[in-house]
Homo-oligomer: A and B are copies of this chain.
Amino acid sequence: MTSTTIEHDIQSITRAARQAARQLAKLDNAQRDRALRAVADHIRANADDVIAANARDLEAARKNGLPDAMIDRLRLDAERLAKVADAVVEVADLPDVLGAVTSETTRPNGLLVQRVRIPLGVVGIVYESRPNVTSDAAALCLKSGNAVILRGGSEAIHSNRALGRCISAGIESAGLPPACVQVVPSTDRQAVKVLLAQADDIDVIIPRGGEGLIRFVTETSRIPVIKHYKGVCHVFVDKAADRDMALSIAENSKAQRTGVCNAAETILVHADVADDLVPALCERLAAAGVEVRGDDKVVALAGGTSATVVAATEDDWYAEYLSLVVAMRVVDDFTTAVAHIETYGSDHTEAIVTADAETAERFLREVNSSTVVVNASTRFADGGELGLGAEIGISTTKLHAYGPMGAEGLTTTKFVVRGDGQIRT
């Protein structure tokens, strides 16, 4: 396709989305939920088509030599597709996020001033790999009254188009404007560039994928971007930590699942308990197959254990391993732990293990990462686990949303003012 054709096609999509968003904003929650249930029905009814389309993506992935882990993330079988449809119904079951009055005040001149929740308008999602993002993102955007433009990766294009057809059929059968959800058919990278330039017709861009994709989107976009680059999450084992709890939380935070942004990458141990806890932590992590990169004290203390412990370099404190590797450091006191997190952290998620209530509250107050946790695993930093129902993404920049972001994160508020003839003097 020529670059003029791509520009024309993308602008047709974004203008249609803007129009659809205006119509969608005038509908009520029951109409949106009806459409979501119809989408789930169409996914179930067309499971064979979607799985056949997915098979084409899988074949191409094998031909292109994609790693097994990526091929697995791409795969849709009957069981996974049933879960995809269920997830859409779960979003329909969430409470309405629109129309809520978030504040109300009567001014001395009698004006009644409210703030009322409304949709953002048009959301653009740029993502890689997993085709379930197509239906998950479409569902959350529809639930929150937003039109959405979905631009997945070329590796999942057949799956995404097939899911897009189910979504469109569901939406239309419920009487919603078809352009509420649009899958960009072009896999040309130029299409993403054109999309990211449509600042008048798209209100926010949410990239989901690897750090490379997110940096590309952030640097290219003229539209506000909600994103996180990485999750360098910390577990701080305080001097007042319960020993068993510390071992269990450190292991779970690191090793329960490694390829995710809320897995711990660095463990900080208070010097007062390091003699006992560093060897114990190293043993526990070694048993879970984790390799440790330690500072001098950790290396010395772990000498007699079965763990593989190598000396950490400065780069290790910044690292998001996403694998069975963890950095470990002994810190002299609470202040040094917080300073370490401020210097090397990514504002994602930090946990403290402590039985001292005052230390816990101080940690929760002083650490301004998007999720701060006392006596629980960092792995709970997730929209579903924190009660948001579902998650469109996680933000580690503080504008608009900070932390896991669900349907409410896809809304804003307008000022609604009721008077009886007031003028300004």
Contacts and interface: CB of A to CB of B under 8 A. Distances in A.
Contacts of A26: 365-366
Contacts of A70: none
Pick from A222, A412, A420 the residue with the most CB of B within 10 Å.
A412
Nearest to A387: B105
Contact of A416 (B222, B364, B404): B364
B414 A368 contact: yes
Interface in A360-401: 360, 364-366, 368-377, 379-381, 385-387, 397-401
A422 interface: yes
A415 B383 CA distance: 11
Task: Kindly name the residue among A222, A414, A415 whose own CB sees the greatest number of chain B CB atoms within 10 A.
Answer: A415
Contact of A414 (B118, B372, B385): B372
A421 B22 contact: no
B369 A245 contact: no
User: Copy number in this complex?
Assistant: 2
Interface size class of A (residues with CB under 8 A): 35 or more
Contacts of A380: 111, 417, 419, 422, 424
B415 A371 contact: yes
A8 interface: no
Interface stretch (A187-195, A248-256, A277-285): A248-256
A399 B412 contact: yes
A419 B376 CA distance: 5
A153 interface: no
Contact of A398 (B219, B360, B381, B412): B412
Nearest to A246: B421
Interface in A86-125: 105, 107, 111, 113, 116, 118-121
A377 B224 contact: no
Interface string A39-59: 000000000000000000000
Interface string A200-222: 00011000000000000011001
Contacts of A423: 248-249, 251-252, 256, 376-377, 379
A402 interface: yes
A224 B377 CA distance: 31
Contact of A370 (B224, B369, B401, B415): B415
A152 interface: no
Contacts of A376: 111, 417-423
A342 interface: yes
B414 A402 contact: yes
Nearest to A404: B415
A413 interface: yes
A25 interface: yes
Contacts of A422: 375-377, 380
Given A398-B121, A400-B400, A412-B399, A107 B387 contact: yes
Given A400-B400, A424-B385, A417 B242 contact: no
B256 A399 contact: no
Given A121-B398, A375-B420, 18 more contacts: A25-B366, A203-B397, A203-B399, A248-B423, A249-B421, A252-B424, A256-B423, A256-B424, A368-B414, A372-B416, A372-B417, A374-B418, A375-B419, A399-B399, A399-B400, A400-B400, A402-B412, A403-B413
* Those 4 A-B pairs whose CB atoms lie nearest each other, nearest first: A376-B419, A252-B423, A379-B424, A400-B400
Interface of A: 22, 25-26, 105, 107, 111, 113, 116, 118-121, 203-204, 218-219, 222, 224, 226, 242, 245, 248-249, 251-252, 256, 342, 360, 364-366, 368-377, 379-381, 385-387, 397-404, 412-425
